[in-house]
Structure 1
Amino acid sequence: MRFKYLFFLFLLTSFSPSFAQKWTKPTTTTTNYAATVARPKLVVGMVIDQMRWDYLYRFYSRYSKGGFKRLINEGFSAENTFIPYTPTYTACGHSSIYTGSVPAINGIIGNNWYDPEQNRDVYCTEDKAVKTVGSTSRAGEMSPKNMLVTTITDELRLATNFKSKVIGISQKDRGSILPAGHTANASYWYDGGTGNWITSTFYMQTLPKWVSDYNDKKEVNKYYANDWKTLYPIETYTQSTADDKSYEGKFKGEATSAFPHLLTNYAGKNYSLITSTPYGNTMTFEMSKLAIQQEKLGQTGNTDFLAVSCSSTDYVGHQFGPNSIEIEDTYLRLDKDLEDFFTYLDKTLGKGNYLFFLSADHAVAHVPGFMAENKLPGGLVSSSAIRKGLDTLMNKKFNLSKSVITVMNNQVYFDHTVIDNKKVDFAQVKQTAIDYLKKQDGVADAVDLQILNTSTIPQEIRERITNGYNARRSGDVYFLLKSNWFDGSATGTTHGAWYPYDSHIPLVFMGWKVKPGKTNQTHYMTDIAATLAAMLQIQMPSGSVGSPITELTHQ
């Protein structure tokens, strides 16, 4: 039997090519692999504060070839990118872009919030353990400690064993600190009280010489000397309303909201006003170029990251509204700044050697006065009035004195100790508040955040509320406002809702390995970090819930 088996094996190995090939000793082959992972020299993330998606096209015919038009035509645009949570505020947006996460996970549920554990209001980037560097004010007592997860900038630092350099720059502290992440080399923001760009001891003990030298120049006075006049003849601003509208805000000392805005008198006296003009963006670009030059970003053999946020668009928008000549002029000037910045990047790093993306932390609603003027729905509510009304109701019905701590970020925070001491059923308290809220002008619905899944609101809206709810930082009851209703004043506008006018944001990539194109597939703000991670071949941030935009990464 053994002889037959060996003979049979001999036949198979002799006449079966596949069997013979299978048992042939493998030969050594050589595969060519790249010596290093392919990455760009520099990544530049740019957040335009309060930029509506439609601004890409609303002013398109007036943009220069090298600014927004270049971005749109040379880049890849995810045309239907939305914010997947509510409320839609600045700190939340910057955090979610860079963490690929939502407030429920990253912990940044607003620009500020009431913290039940600390029994006080908390500002998103506050840190009393650090000191200001660059001025004597308290504007630098800031750090990213309240953000609970890593950012894509942190992950880049980790992936390169901290050889990559990361710097954040914005007029707003939260617009610089949160994108730069926990491990940033530096983060700089503008101190309107002194006219200086500052940082905190979280990053360094003294400012670099190049920042101090820039501060010494007090460039803000140079811009004030130019006043704010329209870039082009005012009669050409046909995409805007008339210049002087009663629902537009005024600068202090001005009789109307109309152009020109005389800034000369503010030189050397009021350094903060620059943020409410397009010149604030221009200063941000100046600082960004200096950072690239002086810190040699993208020029030392490592992939570096510059996180920039332009804040003046937000300040101008809040004061004048999205249909004002002021906002149109701000974007036309921003377009010029972008063109100059792209030219600088091309010259310094080489076209195609840097990866650039542009998005927004949120968009913005139309001014209620503008809506009424054009027979469109909209209006105002008052959080303070809602709080007083609820407090009075709770006192009357349950004999609860000062049981409502605050109403903010569309949430009602109750004092649980007061309610427990009175042995009142908390479920009844919340239901009473919900019934009251539903009767208020401008309120569309209200829900108990503890049992949100049992509510009858549409699933998509329920998901956005859930994504914005952090169990240890959020309130007890959430109320939804009607379309284009918000908590504000009779002049100017704001944001915060789930509606597309607040949550539909631009997202355009350009540069390294980006081919021109567009997609109309629905994507979310949280997909930005995941896309960057895929392109850079690094780990996603620790709280990431986004997905790579494959229409871009598969090209």
Structure 2
Amino acid sequence: MAQDAAPPAQKVTAATPPPKLIVMISVDQFSADLFAQYRGHFTGGLARLASGVVFPSGYQAHGATETCPGHSTILTGNHPAHTGIIANNYFDLAAAREDKRLYCAEDETVPGTSSGSGKYAPSVDHLLVPTLGDLMKARDPNAQVVSVAGKDRAAIMMGGRKADELVWLAPTGLTSYRGTALSPTATQAGTAIAAAIAQPRKGLPLPADCADQDIAIPVGDRVVGNGRLARDGGDFRRFLASPEADGAVLAAGAALRQARRLGEGSTTDLLILGLSATDYVGHGFGTEGTEMCLQIMGLDRELGDFFARLDATGIDYAVALTADHGGHDIPERNRQNGWPAATRVDTAINPDAIAKSVAEKLGLPEPLLYSDGPFGDMYLAKSLTAAQRKAAMAEFIARFRAFPQVEAVVTGEELAARPISKEAPDNWSMLDKLRASYNAQRSGDFIVVLKPRVTPIADTSRYVATHGSVWDYDRRVPMLFWRKGLAGFEQTNAVMTVDILPTLASLIGLTVDASKIDGRCIDLISGPESSCR
């Protein structure tokens, strides 16, 4: 005897009670361009989200479109100017340690540490504002917050200060803050992840949807564009650059949800998932080859499996998905695909070499300038007199502006005098974008902006592509919302990732002081009713 069909989901209205679980997903480097390119191919979790409330023109509105600043906006409602997370790395020339460069998610006061990879002590200390999880815990200490990610900065910047569990991928499986013991469930999940890392992986079969992407592109002394994401056993870097890594984060998140019974209590809980593989693939191979196609198809499949597992619990949950930034493809492929002006940065735009020359010309002591690369924030030495500082600034600005690949050089004084724009982010000027990243206590004395489609990577031995610019290919990201019974619609007008916190807060009835955030609530209910309360 045939069973009756399941009853349709009750339509979500303004009177519908809050969901029991919020699932916040960030897909690192999942640009609006990638979403649009592959949208017609989704059959799994991304297809579900694309049937919900879709904002294809979301913006990481600020100018320094890097991982840490982007993640700091998603669940704080604030631009980097207010989160204090102005870049992945910035300089504090007053820091007590010899290494004046600070990693965005470290505690530089820990003895014996430095900002280098694996040499820092992970910390949330540099984040200046609370996250959604922090506000939820302040309202109700029984609310649970769990943050799991592929990168420490993703887990930390979205998880905040009060997360019950906060973990990220490591060669040993999962790890957390130094001195923090993993829960039994996280330990078990980490053991399974470590076992997967130890196993070699053959190349993935290429779906028919990826066949057109199978074009070999020489870059330096290697070839990209036709790879299958194969790796040797124990190769953690290659593990991170694959759907396996995202699957590991999702599986760990699902296990922690089950163990802690998130979504089953009297209040709303928060599960945060930072999926980083798309970023590693983008950096290592670019955004257009078979490698990225395999990654996006795998992401869609892994999300589908995760949602099916959540569905089986019967929990009323809502999902939001966005990205910390977009991304730009390799110039070698861009030149083949209709953009002949795409290029790599001129090695002459070397801040260290320029600083040495300026110091010699003006008779100033070295080191004169601190920077993290050929663009972004530049810091003058604090030992300079006012007259020396003025002369050095003028010389640096003139020299950087003389490079044909440099679009602009903007001083911190110019940005400090400018209010943060309240206009739609697609209409922002370059100064508006840079202002949203500018924090007077942490930003540089001047900022160098490269022209569009100048890839700021000259040495391709490790990475071939990147992001971080003020241009829209790095700023535009999708913003997707889904809940069972929530009528889907699409709105193409520009919104911002800083709008996510007030939108989710309203969904769960959490009052947020609008004067303390840069974002606004977005109405997720189609028609005259509103989810913004």
* TM-score using structure 1 length: 0.82
1:295-349 Cα deviation digits (max 9, x unpaired): 1111122211011010111001101111111001100011111111111111113
Structure 2 residue corresponding to 1:473, chosen from 434, 439, 442:
442
8 Å contact kept, 1:96–1:102: yes
1:85-117 Cα deviation digits (max 9, x unpaired): 111000101111111101111111111111133
Give aligned-pair identity as a percent.
23
Question: Is 1:68 matched up with 2:43?
Answer: no
Larger radius of gyration: 1
Greater Cα offset, 510-519 or 288-297? 510-519
Compared CA separation, residues 37 and 71, structure 1 to 2 (3 A)? closer
Which residue matches 2:352?
388
8 Å contact kept, 2:359–2:368: no
Tell me the distance in 2 between the aligned counterparts of 1:59 and 1:322: 12
Q: Which runs of 5 or more residues in structure 1 are unaligned?
A: 1-35, 132-136
CA shift, 1:407, in A, is 2.1
Structure 2 counterparts to residues 165-314 of structure 1, below 5 A: 165-192=144-171, 195-200=172-177, 205-218=180-193, 220-221=195-196, 224-233=199-208, 236-242=209-215, 244-247=216-219, 258-263=226-231, 266-267=232-233, 269-314=234-279
8 Å contact kept, 2:66–2:325: yes
1:405-463 Cα deviation digits (max 9, x unpaired): 3223612111020x22xx634233212211111111310111211124789xx962111
SS of the counterpart of 2:255?
Answer: helix
SS of the counterpart of 2:218?
Answer: coil
Which residue matches 2:477?
505
Structure 2 counterparts to residues 504-543 of structure 1, below 5 A: 504-511=476-483, 514-540=486-512, 543=516
* TM-score using structure 2 length: 0.85
Structure 1 residue corresponding to 2:281, chosen from 316, 331, 334:
316
8 Å contact kept, 2:213–2:289: yes
CA shift, 1:142, in A, is 1.6
Aligned length: 491
8 Å contact kept, 1:249–1:320: no
CA shift, 1:271, in A, is 3.3
CA shift, 1:220, in A, is 4.5
Question: Is 1:450 matched up with 2:413?
Answer: yes
Which residue matches 2:382?
416
SS of the counterpart of 1:177?
Answer: helix
Question: Is 1:50 matched up with 2:29?
Answer: yes
Tell me the distance in 2 between the aligned counterparts of 1:280 and 1:187: 17
Superposition CA RMSD, Å: 2.8
Query: What one-letter code is carried by the residue in structure 2 that aligns with 1:401?
Result: P
Which residue matches 2:301?
336
Structure 1 residue corresponding to 2:457, chosen from 484, 488, 493:
488
8 Å contact kept, 2:130–2:160: yes
8 Å contact kept, 1:369–1:490: no
Structure 1 residue corresponding to 2:325, chosen from 362, 368, 372:
362
8 Å contact kept, 1:298–1:349: no
Query: What one-letter code is carried by the residue in structure 2 that aligns with 1:197?
Result: L
CA shift, 1:398, in A, is 1.7
CA shift, 1:261, in A, is 4.5
Q: Which runs of 5 or more residues in structure 2 are unaligned?
A: 1-14, 112-116, 419-426
8 Å contact kept, 2:229–2:242: no
Query: What one-letter code is carried by the residue in structure 1 that aligns with 2:160?
Result: G
Structure 2 counterparts to residues 147-158 of structure 1, below 5 A: 147-158=127-138
Tell me the distance in 2 between the aligned counterparts of 1:551 and 1:171: 29
CA shift, 1:548, in A, is 0.9
CA shift, 1:201, in A, is 5.2
Query: What one-letter code is carried by the residue in structure 1 that aligns with 2:235?
Result: N
Question: Is 1:463 matched up with 2:426?
Answer: no
Tell me the distance in 2 between the aligned counterparts of 1:129 and 1:186: 24
SS of the counterpart of 1:550?
Answer: coil
